[in-house]
């Protein structure tokens, strides 16, 4: 009597560890996870505003591609978490939005040099193949570089 009870207990524990063979899941339980390759792509809008003004743009060639470097000027000190967010490539023009998070509390204006923020993005040779112009967009202006 003891051996069949131990065998049944071992079988129950083994089946309980399996997802499809678990009797607790046979009643339709929770749905199976979907393969990420077939999941719908949801692109959330970036809540950070555009930098007030783009003051400089440099595209520097490297051995492996290029570095896009832009400097922006926010209205006050304390802006942070800056990024160049690429839009989809259209007609050989790559447009970056210069996004930057505002300070949590009010800050003073101070000098231009103390407010400047520089960001960069890397492009490899494959990315550069279809690009003839790079544009960095701010709230008040945009700068571009033609290849």
> 131 phi and psi, to 5 degrees?
-105, 130
Nearest to 83 by CA among 32, 28, 138: 138
Domain range annotation of the chain: 2-29, 53-146
pTM for this prediction: 0.68
Which range in 4-18, 20-34, 103-117 is most confidently predicted, on average pLDDT? Answer: 103-117
pLDDT of residue 34: 47
pLDDT digits over 30-69, tens only?
445 545 555 555 556 889 999 999 999 999 999 999 999 9
| Confidence category of residue 15, pLDDT binned at 50, 70, 90 | low
pLDDT at 6 over 90: no
pLDDT of residue 4: 72
Token look-up 């000190």 returns: 77
| Confidence category of residue 133, pLDDT binned at 50, 70, 90 | very high
Q: Is the dihedral of CA 104, 53, 75, 121 positive or negative?
A: positive
pLDDT digits over 59-108, tens only?
999 999 999 999 999 999 999 999 999 999 999 999 999 999 999 888 88
Residue 70 burial (CB count, 10 A): 26
Nearest to 78 by CA among 98, 101, 55: 101
């Amino acid at each position: 009597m003891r051996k069949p009870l131990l065998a049944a207990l071992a079988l129950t524990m083994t089946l309980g560890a399996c997802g499809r063979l678990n009797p607790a899941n046979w009643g339709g339980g929770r749905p199976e996870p979907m393969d990420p390759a077939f999941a719908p792509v949801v692109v959330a809008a970036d809540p950070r505003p555009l930098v007030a003004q783009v003051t400089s743009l440099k595209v520097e060639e490297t051995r492996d591609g290029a570095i896009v470097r832009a400097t922006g000027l926010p209205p006050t000190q304390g802006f942070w978490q800056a990024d160049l967010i690429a839009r989809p490539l259209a007609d050989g023009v790559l447009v970056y939005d210069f996004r930057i998070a505002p300070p949590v509390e009010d800050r003073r204006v101070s000098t231009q040099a103390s407010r400047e923020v520089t960001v960069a993005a890397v492009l490899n040779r494959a990315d550069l193949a279809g690009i003839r112009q790079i544009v960095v967009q701010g709230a008040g202006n945009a700068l571009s570089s033609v290849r």
